[in-house]
Chain A
Amino acid sequence: MKSKMFTSLALLAVMSVNVHAEDKKVGTGPNPFSDCGIGAALFQNNKVLAVTSNIIWDIGTTAVTSATASPETCNGKTVTAAKFILESYDNLSEEAARGEGEHLVALLNIMEVNSTRHMEVISGIRSEMSSNLASTEFNSADKKAKSIAFYNALVAAI
């Protein structure tokens, strides 16, 4: 029940960050988790993802295929980034805690963030994720919800 509540909150957070992100040049457009179907497909499925990659890839493909909002944007870098986060959440989260790492570099390159801004963006992600991890509810949430939160932190930092 708690997990479902958090899921709902996470989805609301996704929507709100999406609106916020519309003011920015980078990361604008539909949120891949909510608007391109990846998140919806995952939540509908409600399976424990653990780290079984095939599920993510299959769901990712299905989600993009069934996207209703702006297909060209849903096939773009944000969807790529979302899939990468879903697959590599633990590594990204640990590297954000350390403030550096090759998963983070790959993610920022996917999002076309200029290398001169990498430190600044990583710092923003770190700050946001630090707050998230202080929450008990966040720690008991599943990987999908955590991935959404990480994506939101990324978009906000960009």
Chain B
Amino acid sequence: MRYYFYAVLLLATLLSPKIAISQSIDSGLIPQLANEKKWHQLLFLNEQGEPTVSNDGFYLSQYQDFSPEQELRNTLRAFNEPVGNNPNNHALCKYKARKIWLESQLPVFNQKIKNIKCPSFEEFKNYTQIDSISLVFATGYLGNPASYYGHLLLKLNTSSLGRLYDPAINFGADVPPDENMLIYIIKGLVGGYSSSFTTQGFFYHLQNYGENEFRDLWEYQLDLTDEERIFLIAHLWELQNRKFTYYFLNKNCAFFMANALNLVLNIPASQSWKPWVAPQTVVQQLAQFQPEKIKKRKYHPSRQSRLYQRYAKLSESEIALVTYFAENPEKLSIEALENESIPSQHNVLDTLIDYYQFLRQPELKEQDPNNLHYSKVLSLRYQLPSGNGHVLFNSSNVPDLGRPLSRSSLGLFHTESDSWGILSIRPAYYDPLDSSYGHVRHSGLSMGEIKMRISQNKATTIESLNLVNILNVRQNYTMLPGDQSHSWFLQVGLQRKLNNNNPPLAGFVHAGYGYAGSFIKDSVSLAGFFGAGFHDTKLDSSGLFLSTNLILNGYLNDLQAWNIQLERKYGFDQQATALKATFRHKVNDAMDLRFNYRYQKEIKENLVGVEVGWYW
């Protein structure tokens, strides 16, 4: 009887590891582990220790009585549950990263835990055969508000499938198709969308960003240990298809990617006090704080960059041929090229292929003649012997370099009748004078920029508030037909009318559309716009105006830049003509000086000013 009793006890113990583990773990250890930063990161808790994953299934505790300690106890309990028919549903398969970390923290747990097969996770791991992980930065795109500040991906590199088929982990808002742009912006700002991590082939993103939106991609291959890599992959597996609330400014791809990476790296962007997190900040902080963790940096040029770089490598005679055929596509034939060497023929046709890909709109089919020209050039390329032009694509526009993204400045301004100070704060991102690494040259993009005026009597008033200020200047680097670069600008905010005495702060919106060209190796650009807008304190027609703008922008060298703008507004009852000139001298990555001049024709006012700016 006694032997029977012991046998039952032994069997019960073996069948119930829950009892074995809970008995083995020091009761004081669990609260201690629950306070560990790593445990909070694994649970994706916010700084207050609250859960941020919004859909059911990720947390094993109820939301109303959630605590990191309770979740830890529930996790240990769930790990000890018997394995059912589908092992994929068992906690040991769902929470691979939690398991790895608890094994490292609890030697007893490590000895007792079951080893079960997890087919879905194995498929994820085997499918990818991941031997390294890369952080990928897609440069900004001014065609979509959500992409103004660039985008981040994680690429899981494999050795067997070829780099382009490697899976990429993306994070984004779950936006319904054909969402109205205004609704999209508002809901993105106020948390109206859920968001998630998803996995797709890297080629999908390369196509979308590089070929459709002409955005360069920069890939930073991380130098992780085997343990770090496996831990991060397990964490990414846990996060697949979990739902989070999306906020465009600070709970965006940059925040969540930095949060996930922080499991094995140190990227402070996700713990910043700032109410915004930009993707470029993440790559800058990776390079700044852990440069030893960057194994290799790879550049994936967009179609536009490939065209421009290929064009830049052409000889003079090849440029002449490309220009001739672009202007006279009907003249292009193998016979027309036969006097050229085979490499020259390759260069000419490859440049024309990129040129027509840059211009053409495939959905228009024959209605867009560039589709026909593209097919013809490609067909001719097949008739030549094999061989690549071997253009070594490269770019010095490296996004991990450059200044911090936010700028503040203090300035003194003077007219014949008055002097005052200006304190300005620009949360992000750049203007034509300080567009830097990873930005669009000669263009500008800022949001939420506020200028405070400090008068001589020490009264402080708001001088202006720019909610949105975008200048999209595209350069026709090749000067080929069709590469004229449609450009535009949009300004929304509060401003004072310049030609009134003591003018009130008034809402305004101003948009323009035009063309731009760049010269002298892209160091100078000239853009002209026709525009319209509304600027008044009263919502009546007297605030409406038409406008013309001419903007000349140039970079003398890496340190100095200049900008001249001539603006004329035609209102119902008055006109406003202003000439503005600014010279910028970069002191270092964190500081600049600006010298301003403005002439307001109608009131014959000359204004001069000097500003000291610092970046943070």
A residues near B (Cβ < 8 Å) are: 48, 50-51, 53-54, 57, 80, 84, 87-88, 90-91, 93-94, 96-103, 105-110, 123, 126, 129-130, 133-134, 139-140, 142-143
Q: Do the beta carbons of A106 and B163 come within 8 Å of each other?
A: yes
Q: Interface of chain A, helix or strand or loop or mixed?
A: helix
Q: How far is the CB of A95 from chain B (nearest CB, A)?
A: 9
Not counting A84-B165, A110-B161, a sample of 20 additional A-B residue pairs whose C-beta atoms are within 8 angstroms of each other reads: A51-B207, A57-B204, A87-B201, A88-B164, A88-B203, A93-B378, A94-B378, A96-B382, A97-B378, A98-B381, A102-B163, A106-B203, A109-B165, A126-B386, A130-B382, A130-B383, A133-B378, A133-B382, A139-B379, A142-B365
B residues near A (Cβ < 8 Å) are: 160-165, 177, 200-201, 203-204, 207-208, 211-212, 346, 350, 353, 357, 362-363, 365-366, 372, 375-376, 378-379, 381-383, 386-389
Q: Interface of chain B, helix or strand or loop or mixed?
A: helix
Q: Do the beta carbons of A134 and B378 come within 8 Å of each other?
A: no
In the complex, the 6 A-B pairs of residues with the closest C-beta atoms, listed nearest first: A99-B386, A106-B162, A130-B382, A139-B375, A97-B381, A109-B162
Which chain A residues border B363 with CB–CB below 8 Å? 48, 50
Q: Do the beta carbons of A51 and B212 come within 8 Å of each other?
A: yes
Which chain B residues border A129 with CB–CB below 8 Å? 382
A57-B383 Cα distance, complex, nearest whole Å: 33
A–B pairs, 17, beta carbons within 8 Å: A48-B362, A51-B208, A51-B362, A87-B204, A90-B211, A91-B207, A93-B378, A94-B381, A96-B382, A97-B382, A98-B381, A98-B389, A99-B388, A106-B161, A106-B203, A109-B162, A139-B379
Q: Do the beta carbons of B203 and A87 come within 8 Å of each other?
A: yes
Q: How far is the CB of B549 from chain A (nearest CB, A)?
A: 33
A103-B163 Cα distance, complex, nearest whole Å: 9
Q: Do the beta carbons of A103 and B365 come within 8 Å of each other?
A: no
How many residue pairs, one in A and one in B, have C-beta atoms under 8 Å apart?
Answer: 93
For B362, give its contact among A97, A139, A140, A143 (CB under 8 Å).
A143
For A134, give its contact among B207, B372, B379 (CB under 8 Å).
B379
A88-B17 Cα distance, complex, nearest whole Å: 51
A96-B203 Cα distance, complex, nearest whole Å: 17
A2-B479 Cα distance, complex, nearest whole Å: 37
The answer to whether A102 and B164 touch (CB under 8 A), given A53-B207, A94-B378, A140-B366, is yes
A53-B201 Cα distance, complex, nearest whole Å: 11
Q: How far is the CB of A4 from chain B (nearest CB, A)?
A: 14
Which chain A residues border B387 with CB–CB below 8 Å? 98-99
A91-B353 Cα distance, complex, nearest whole Å: 11
A70-B379 Cα distance, complex, nearest whole Å: 37
A66-B118 Cα distance, complex, nearest whole Å: 26
The answer to whether A103 and B381 touch (CB under 8 A), given A88-B207, A90-B211, A139-B375, is no
CB nearest to B357 among chain A residues: A90
CB nearest to B163 among chain A residues: A102
Q: How far is the CB of A82 from chain B (nearest CB, A)?
A: 13
Q: Do the beta carbons of A50 and B379 come within 8 Å of each other?
A: no
A50-B360 Cα distance, complex, nearest whole Å: 11
Which chain B residues border A98 with CB–CB below 8 Å? 346, 350, 381, 386-389
A140-B369 Cα distance, complex, nearest whole Å: 12
Which chain B residues border A101 with CB–CB below 8 Å? 388
Q: Do the beta carbons of B207 and A100 come within 8 Å of each other?
A: no
